[in-house]
Structure 1
Amino acid sequence: MADNNYDSLQDGSSHSTDRYVEAEIDKIDMEKDSESPIGPDEEQTGSVRSGLVGAFFGLGVCLSFVAATQFTQSTYSPSFNGPFFNMWFSTSWMMACYPLYVVITVLVFPERRKRGIRNIYDEDQRVYGERGLTLLTAIKVTGPFLVLWMLTNYVFVRALGITSATVVTTLFVTNTVVVYVLSWILLTEVVAQIPSKVLSVILSMTGTVLVSYSEGFEAGNRIVGAIILPLLAATGSAIYKVVFKRVIGDASLGQVSLFLSVLGFLDLVSLWPVLLALYYTGEESWDVIPWGFLCGSSALIVVFNFLVNFGIAITFPLLISLGHVLGIPANAVVDVTFRGTTFSTLKLIGGALIVVGFTFMVLPASYQEKMAFGCFRRKAEHQNLDSKEEREEGLEEREEELELKQSEIDGNADVSV
């Protein structure tokens, strides 16, 4: 392209040609400047800031997860046994997710505030397709997920009425292993088949067997509720995540918040017949409703979901995932301190194996590759580096060629004079 432009200008004035070559050289310099890496100080400052923000969100995820779990377990009493009521009531609070997102977006992000709330909503409702959010699309898209949500959270809450929060949360985090397996089977994207992930699956399965054996030995015939229900909740959570990824795709924070608000609304208006049926058949009893614990757990669940989704969007996902891991020992401390729970050696070993397996599973692929193969650079980074070097070499060659033509033009100008 540069040669053709140069040939077309040869018949014109030498001043026009000079300006053209100088402009081309300036353009090359600008391209080089635009590709120059960020300074080490600026990069380090940004990493530290992002790390601190991620640590704050990870701690918030941990505390809200532990508090919500403990509050939910505290709702059980001789005068109240309502896991479905608990699930229905807390899920209805999810309607607050999108209004909360809009308020924080307007207050924190000035560039989005300038676009207006209407434009923000128009962009977020694309999660429901070209028609946007209507009653039909809400039922069609969100309805199936509400069923998965209902079943998963119901068995999770019911398990908390049978065994300790530590056992339930320990077994529940095995959903990452199920997500890995289901993603490999159902999703079209390729899932890394590296030894660290295989090791994670083995550790999690071994830990689950140990915890199950210990819990079954201690609980006798309660093993169905103490072990099977948490594992069913983990499986349901994994199915929800994988199906959401397959159907919805990579949704933005606003789209996820809108989706959760619609899910909460559908829960409120559609599941109350099931609620009444369970009450009048005697499956649940609500003689004295513990509104304090119910409202506390519901609010904390909203905070937990918002911190998870917002934290993943603006900081390191690893730190958010580690918030789940820290929730297991934190729940154990609460159970031992305030509920007088004791844990056998087998249960402690099994829980530790599950935590280590979970940690391996959520580590970034680069760290997993280092652990598995001893590589300190990912293949993709090598490819990007090679591509950048080739581009810089091409720019240098182009600059030398233009300088040579500039010299020829200067020589021709001298001859003409």
Structure 2
Amino acid sequence: MKKHSARVAPLSACNSPVLTLTRVEGNSCICNHCETGKVGTRLPFGTAAVRATSNSWILGGAELEDHHPASPALAETHNEVNGPSSQWFWKQSIAQMKKCSWGIVVILCVCSSWSGSTQLAKSTLSRFDAPLTLTWFSTNWNFLFFPIYYVGYIIKSDEKQSPKQKYQECCRFFGDSGLTLKAFFTKAAPFGVLWTLTNYLYLHAIKKINTTDVSALFCCNKAFVFLLSWIVLRDKFMGVRIVAAIFAIAGIVMMTYADGFHSHSVIGIALVVGSASMSALYKVLFKLLLGSASFGEAALFLSVLGMFNVLLVTCIPIILYFTKVEYWSSFEKIPWCLLCGFSVLQLTFNILVNFGIAITYPTLISCGIVLSVPVNAVVDHYTSEIVFNSVRVIAIVIIGLGFFLLLLPEDWDVYIIKLLTRLKVQKKEESDGNVTTGTALQIRSCTTRPSFAH
């Protein structure tokens, strides 16, 4: 049995509009020191970056540098002690710079894939009015998760396992018996339903309102994750995240007010909020019921969701077709290029969100999601008749601010206090140094002053 901590894993995120997995444990490629072989982040809030290792090495190196050995023997000893710490420091600095550089690339890829899939969904639905069929079609591509992971495993890993061996190893995630029929219906099917609802409500909302409002409102899902994790998982209470949740709710109300509470826009906003709520419920339930997963287990789980989609969801688009709810005259008129383009971008986005933390920080991945809002705004400005009045702009800014507040680590206030204390100590030392210097100058001037006494 896996032990479940009372925390929501981070980034899992969000998939198809943003359903990612929660905390993923396993490979130690993220950090070699501390618990960081964990592929996860504190999901609801944006993800917790990996912890820094102890500073004792760095402080030790600094102390040694301040000491100047007086003899060759001491100098040799100094170099032997200081050398490893200096090399370790530079290796860590290079590693951090590399992760930040990869982070910039991942941010751009996440932003472009997320905003691109949203815009393609808008174009597709204008010619193919079948949001549930589009959801079903794109979810079928989840089958590719495990094969893509296995190819990456073969390239990176020194220990080679056959696909069957790797599959059996990852199946342990579902229990000692593996992926049985019972495990499929109890551990995978509920999340398949939530996945489908999240995507369907998101796509249906795109039919009602513009993509800028949809992408901005969906960012509220992190606030919903925090509220659910605080209530259900007994996650740590943080005042700043309560403020972020209030910002998210205020942004939703202002977004509704921006269009004058028209029924069309109210329905669209309600659909997006419902999609964000389903995404949050997906993440919290994953953490509560399944706990954590390695990269391979996460890939297999997402592929199993694709299997669920084919076996149990296929009948729904068929029923909607014959009842003329989602009907198209002929298969030749289906915009296959748009459908495939949307599915590819969505698959790319899900891969980056779930597995991008292997090469960069989860917080940077979350930034890529929120940056898609201004990208969609620019596209909507030139392609639609959206009106960016002051209320809509303020609502988007408030939601974005709440999103970034949720990215703060749990102990952010401790870092602020330490920083302020350090600045205060440095200022005091500088003032004491100035006073000492001034006193020394006064004494020197008194001793050098000529005497006129007779």
TM-score under structure 2 length normalisation: 0.70
Q: State how many pairs are aligned.
A: 337
Return the letter of the residue paired with 2:311: V
Q: Tell me how far apart the structure 2 counterparts of residues 240 and 262 of structure 1 sit (CA, whole Å).
A: 15
> Equivalent residue for 2:89?
40
Does residue 111 of structure 1 match 2:158?
yes
Check if 1:342 corresponds to 2:384. Answer: no
Residue 242 of structure 1 is aligned with which of 266, 281, 284? 284
CA contact under 8 A between 1:66 and 1:330: conserved in structure 2?
yes
Distance verdict in 2 for CA 1:271–1:138, change over 3 Å: same
Rounded to whole Å, the distance in 1 between the matches of 2:183 and 2:393 is: 46
- Report which of the two structures shows the higher radius of gyration computed on alpha carbons: 1
CA displacement at 1:229 relative to structure 2: 0.3
Q: Which residue identity lines up with residue 374 of structure 1 in the other structure?
A: I
Match of 2:120 in 1: 71
Deviation per residue, 1:29-71 (Å, 9 max, x gap): xxx99x9686221111010011111221222111110111111
Distance in 2 (alpha carbons) for counterparts of 1:119 and 1:52: 35
225, 228, 251: which one pairs with 2:293? 251
Matched, 1:94 2:142: yes
Return the alpha-carbon distance in structure 2 between the equivalents of residues 68 and 270 of structure 1: 25
1:143 corresponds to 2:189: yes
Tell me whether 355-364 or 198-207 shows the greater mean CA deviation.
Answer: 198-207
Deviation at 1:198, TM superposition (A): 2.2
* 2:242 aligned residue: 198
Q: Secondary structure at the match of 1:111?
A: coil
Distance 1:48 1:86, change over 3 A: same
Tell me the C-alpha RMSD between the 2 structures. 2.2
Partners of 1:231 and 1:295 in 2: CA distance: 26
CA positional deviation for 1:269: 2.1
Between the two proteins, what is the percent identity of the paired residues? 37
Q: In the alignment, is the contact (CA less than 8 A) between 1:360 and 1:368 conserved in 2?
A: no
Letter in 2 for 1:104: G
Deviations 1:224-266 (A, max 9, x none): 4221000000100000000011111111121111111111111
- Kindly indicate whether residue 417 of structure 2 is the aligned counterpart of residue 374 of structure 1: yes
C-alpha separation in 2, matches of 1:73 and 1:346: 24
Cα contact 2:170–2:296 (8 A) shared by 1: yes
Residue 408 of structure 1 is matched in structure 2 by none
Amino acid of the residue matched to residue 88 of structure 1? W
Q: CA separation in 2, counterparts of 1:161 and 1:340?
A: 14
DSSP-derived class of the 1:70 partner: helix
Distance 2:91 2:298 in 1: 32
Unpaired runs of 5+ residues, structure 2, are 1-80, 421-454
Distance 2:413 2:377 in 1: 28
Could you tell me how far apart the structure 2 residues matched to 1:326 and 1:158 are? 22
3-state DSSP of counterpart to 1:251: coil
Amino acid at match of 1:45: I
Alpha carbons 2:210, 2:380 under 8 Å: kept: yes
Partner of 2:167: 121
Q: Is the 8 A contact 1:162 1:222 kept in 2?
A: yes
Deviation at 1:211?
Answer: 0.8
- Structure 1 residues 72-114: Cα deviation after superposition (integer angstroms, max 9, x where no partner): 111123x52101001000001111111011112212x1324x3
Which residue does the alignment assign to 2:408?
363
SS in 2 for 1:283: coil
- CA offset at residue 135 of structure 1? 3.6
The offset of 1:368, in angstroms, is 5.3
Identify unmatched segments of 5+ residues in structure 1: 1-31, 378-417
Output the amino acid matched with 1:111: D
Please state which structure has a larger fraction of its residues in helix. Answer: 1
Contact kept, 8 Å, 1:318 with 1:364, in 2: the verdict is no
Structure 1 segment 288-307 matched on structure 2, within 5 A: 288-307=333-352
8 Å Cα contact 1:216/1:222 also seen in 2: no
CA contact (8 A) 2:208 2:265 kept: no
Q: Give 1:363 deviation, angstroms.
A: 2.5
Aligned partners of 1:115, 1:87: CA distance in 2, in Å?
Answer: 34
